[in-house]
A and B are shown apart, each in its own frame.
Chain A
């Protein structure tokens, strides 16, 4: 395990700029998740660390050593691809043993067997060691792919949306598994996803990428409560944060310069209006079982928030809405710091 650093890294594909001036340090033993939409440069960042792409500018350091020009085999990394990148004609055992059989390692047969079996147990595929890779289900294939990365102890594990092809239940399980495995091994891990739940639950730090630039990096809590701008704020939270223009609701006491108010469920107090005075009308209620999504119409705007399953509100009800320490952004969408009131 080692510290990994990207310094001023840039990469373009033809006219398309994939990464621009990226500075990123992943500490030894840290789990960093890069979060962003498709085309934000997440995968390119991973491939640059792996050596599958060469940067146009900047440097890549692994364990203090400059590996900017080194091929993937010379870097001590493992990579889990988004696709099931198994060797299709080999058994699960042979797939897991493949990285260990590299002549550069000169690992003994018994040692390989021990490591493969331990890893198979870790990713819960030990009952299928003799199966052919192509005979597995999607979830099993991806567990083998993850296992093939874990079978070595590299400087850093790189994972490109490894869970996106799994069904919801398995994804939830694997999320916990991966975090457990990472903590057990004390592994350094750079993980790419567009799923905010994966980012929130597994990351030590989340990096928000947009159009090839790292907008903000920090602990999940910090990114959630202190987003640098409206873009970061919309990446996290379910339902998505409501961005309302200043003045739409009574908002005395907000910092000067506030142009946009960001309100998540916890930033809003909603009550049925008693005296005929109202800020909005309940449009409809989505019942999700354990909770409801409350859609409220504010003139020509709409606001979506969570409400308890036993909410007394019904569509058509007039409601009073008050802010409770919302996030405030200036005209450029930048967070104004501190909290209101």
Chain B
């Protein structure tokens, strides 16, 4: 193991190498004062370096000694079990759930894009409500973080959707009670609203700051169990007045990585809403999701909402585990629901 891979400042690294400490083993039996003398640095700094080095070499030993071949790795078999036991957030549209194999999955980053007015924010709000459906009703009983970059979050609408959801649960309850006398938990529409943490983000700097801060926020609120993080939209601030495209790509991919990490660490679903733009392909303009080609790699799943004739459809544009398919849905007063028309429901492509 080489000292150049240690997470220490470049100048310290340089000093270590020029003083002849090129491998971790050469540091292992060194006293701080000796190192400080050799590198002409303060003793405190030397202690820090040795600490970092010993943590790193400790890791090395575990890796080579323990049963696991690679530290932190999981076998595909274990992952399968985990996937099967993890629940998904229903979209309230069974056709859409069907093509998504149950709904929006935890531990994944799902990007949803579409033209203005197609229902992105509606779906976002629906998920923020549905994530709270208690386990007794087959839900996750979690809470939601809603990061609003556009100002399109309408509380009146959240209340409407929450009321419909509470009503559905009540109906389900009465159906169920015929068999068992168990009285299931009632949820008041307003309690749904109490479990949505709303961040209003006004600049891209704030957007980055929130995403950096989320890790701490989620650790501090571990007991409440946030199960979905919705960013509506990931695009807005990066589309306005952003001239340095290289910087934009860098910031966006950094954000995507952090979100992916959060999804895994806290076992939650991340939903990113995206806008669309026109792109010149094969001699004509076509619609495509915004933020460019390198961003297209960022999310695990990519769903495009579009108009198919007079019907709203969702299309799975990219997913490592789901087949490419499309299904109709509608936006009703009660939220996202199945399309009422009786034509073929799910189309495999």
Specify whether A and B are partners: no
